[in-house]
C-alpha cells in the first residue's frame, strides 16, 4: 500500500497568513493526488483533485502543486473559515485509497 505522510501535523497561523502544507507519497502517484478540508464535526470537503485542479466552488486562495511523490497545498491568505484539518489522499493505486494523517490549521 502507498503511505501518505503530511507535514506539519499542525500549524498555528493568523488571518491573512500564507500557509503551506506538504504531502509525500511512499511511491510514485503521478498527479493522482486529492486534497480535502474537514471543519470540526463536519464531513470532509473536496478541495483539489489531480494535484492542482480546483473543485467547483472552492476559493482561488487555495492552490495545489506537485507531482510524483511530493505535493503542496497552499492557502495564499488565510480566512477565518479556513481553520480546519486538511487531508491528502492518493488515487494512483486502488484498492486501497490511502489518506495522509492530516494537518490541523489553528488560530495563532
Partner 1 sequence: EVQLLESGGGLVQPGGSLRLPCAGSRFTSGNYAVHWVRQAPGKGLEWVSAIGSSGGGTFYADSVKGRFTISRDTSKNTLYLQMNSLRADDTAVYYCATKMLLTSYVALDNWGQGILVTVSS
- Name the residues that contact partner 1, by CB under 8 A: 32, 34, 36, 38, 42-46, 49-50, 55, 87, 89, 91-92, 94-102
Spatial strand order of the sheet with 70-75 comes to 4-7, 19-25, 70-75, 62-67
Question: Residue 58 contacts by C-beta under 8 Å, 6 or more apart in sequence?
Answer: 46, 47, 48
Minimum CB separation of residue 77 from partner 1 in Å reads 25
Minimum CB separation of residue 78 from partner 1 in Å reads 22
In the complex with partner 1, the residue whose CB is nearer, 37 or 75, is 37
Amino acid at each position: 500500500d502507498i503511505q501518505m505522510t503530511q507535514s506539519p501535523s499542525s500549524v498555528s497561523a493568523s488571518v491573512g497568513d500564507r500557509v503551506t502544507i506538504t504531502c509525500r507519497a511512499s511511491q510514485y502517484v503521478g498527479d493522482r493526488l486529492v486534497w480535502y478540508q474537514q471543519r470540526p464535526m463536519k464531513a470532509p470537503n473536496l478541495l483539489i483533485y489531480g494535484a492542482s485542479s480546483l473543485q467547483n466552488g472552492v476559493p482561488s486562495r487555495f492552490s495545489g502543486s506537485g507531482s510524483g511523490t511530493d505535493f503542496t497545498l497552499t492557502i495564499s491568505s488565510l480566512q477565518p473559515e479556513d481553520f480546519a484539518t486538511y487531508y491528502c489522499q492518493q488515487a494512483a493505486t486502488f484498492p486501497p485509497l490511502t489518506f495522509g494523517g492530516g494537518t490541523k490549521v489553528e488560530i495563532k
